[in-house]
């Protein structure tokens, strides 16, 4: 098994990990889940988080083949389009993204020609599709549950799990967004946890208790032994009951409204209005 090299970056504002995965210094790489900074009260976008990743890519002299989105995030704006404009790479997401685009095209009353078959992305991955990053071989895995379009990416000996598993003491991703399904998440997670015990799992998020540092990576073995929601022995029905009870207590993520509007456009902002200004909408009493 090829050993993928990984550098992880944590965005404390949204508790999101961005990962750079590459075969060797001077070789080829991919960026998973880049973040665009957004200061909601002033409506201001910035590129501090993305620029840290770009600086690393340049320092390692990497050719970026892919910018991989695990799903249409609801907690941060995607830095994919900005990153592509600086360091290239094809922006990709799962084939089922159209289902998410349809829901939110309707909610946000988007322009009639807004495409709901994922054409904003450079590539849509099918479940099980093989691809390459330089010398690393990779497989896209459809892991629905958090949303219908969630993907994980198995690259060399590492898996970028997206919003499925969180670190073992935090548990799993919520399943109460449109098209979410706790039963599907259980099956998706068990698929990831059927990989060899030493498989490295790279997290999309961490929400650590105050006494520990953020954890970018753990293993299949650690998750099977310790995950508070879905360790070995937890049945599908037990998981679903636990997940639904927890979801009933959660409020909407702080940045869900601006995030979705950008992320279903592959990280591009909506078109500017006649005065040249870009607007993000707030639907009232509609979500
Ligand atoms: Fe998410």
Cα 278 to averaged position of ligand 1 atoms, centre (Å): 24
Q: What is the mean pLDDT of the chain?
A: 97
Q: What is the pLDDT of residues 116-157, one digit of tens each?
A: 999 999 999 999 999 999 999 999 999 999 999 999 999 999
Position 287 confidence tier, pLDDT thresholds 50, 70, 90: confident
Cα 162 to averaged position of ligand 1 atoms, centre (Å): 7
Cα 173 to averaged position of ligand 1 atoms, centre (Å): 7
Q: What is the pLDDT of residues 68-118, one digit of tens each?
A: 999 999 999 999 999 999 999 999 999 999 999 999 999 999 999 999 999
Work out the angle at residue 48's Cα, subtended by the Cα atoms of residues 43 and 54, and round it to the nearest 5 degrees. 135
Q: Model's pTM, two decimal places?
A: 0.97
Position 3 confidence tier, pLDDT thresholds 50, 70, 90: confident
Cα 262 to averaged position of ligand 1 atoms, centre (Å): 14
Residues around ligand 1, an ion, CB closer than 5 A: 73, 163
Note the pLDDT of residue 2.
79
Cα 175 to averaged position of ligand 1 atoms, centre (Å): 10
Note the pLDDT of residue 34.
98
Note the pLDDT of residue 206.
97
Cα 73 to averaged position of ligand 1 atoms, centre (Å): 4
Q: What is the pLDDT of residues 5-54, one digit of tens each?
A: 999 999 999 999 999 999 999 999 999 999 999 999 999 999 999 999 99
Burial 180-206 (b: 16+ CB within 10 A, else e): bbbebbbebbeebbebeeebbbbbbbb
Q: Quick check: 167 and 10 in contact, CB under 8 A?
A: no
| More reliable by pLDDT, 15 or 287 | 15
- The rounded percent of the chain whose pLDDT value lies above 90 is 98
Cα 21 to averaged position of ligand 1 atoms, centre (Å): 20
pLDDT at 254 > cutoff 70: yes
Position 1 confidence tier, pLDDT thresholds 50, 70, 90: low
- 220 vs 213: CA distance, rounded Å: 20
Cα 86 to averaged position of ligand 1 atoms, centre (Å): 25
Cα 25 to averaged position of ligand 1 atoms, centre (Å): 30
């Amino acid at each position: 098994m090829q050993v993928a090299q990984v550098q992880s970056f944590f965005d404390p504002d949204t508790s999101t990990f961005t990962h750079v995965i590459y075969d060797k210094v001077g070789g080829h790489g991919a960026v998973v889940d880049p973040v665009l900074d957004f200061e909601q009260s002033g409506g201001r976008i910035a590129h501090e988080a993305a620029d840290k990743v770009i600086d690393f890519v340049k320092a390692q002299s990497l050719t970026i083949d892919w910018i991989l989105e695990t799903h249409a995030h609801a907690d941060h704006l995607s830095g994919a389009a900005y990153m592509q404009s600086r360091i290239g790479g094809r922006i990709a997401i799962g084939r089922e993204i159209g289902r998410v685009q349809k829901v939110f095209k309707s909610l946000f009353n988007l322009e009639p020609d807004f495409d709901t078959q994922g054409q904003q992305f450079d590539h849509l991955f099918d479940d099980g599709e093989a691809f390459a990053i330089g010398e690393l071989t990779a497989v896209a895995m459809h892991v629905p549950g958090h949303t219908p379009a969630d993907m994980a990416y198995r690259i060399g000996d590492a898996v970028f799990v997206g919003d499925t598993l969180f670190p073992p003491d935090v548990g799993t991703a919520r399943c109460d967004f449109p098209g979410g399904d706790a039963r599907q998440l259980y099956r998706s997670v068990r698929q990831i946890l059927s990989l060899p015990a030493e498989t490295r799992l790279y997290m999309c998020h961490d929400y650590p208790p105050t006494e520990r540092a953020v954890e970018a990576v753990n293993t299949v073995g650690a998750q099977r032994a310790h995950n508070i929601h879905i360790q070995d022995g937890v049945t599908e029905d037990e998981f679903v009951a636990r997940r639904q009870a927890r979801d009933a207590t959660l409020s909407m993520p702080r940045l869900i409204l601006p995030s979705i509007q950008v992320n279903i456009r592959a990280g591009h902002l909506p078109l500017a209005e006649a005065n040249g200004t870009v607007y993000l909408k707030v639907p009232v009493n509609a979500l």
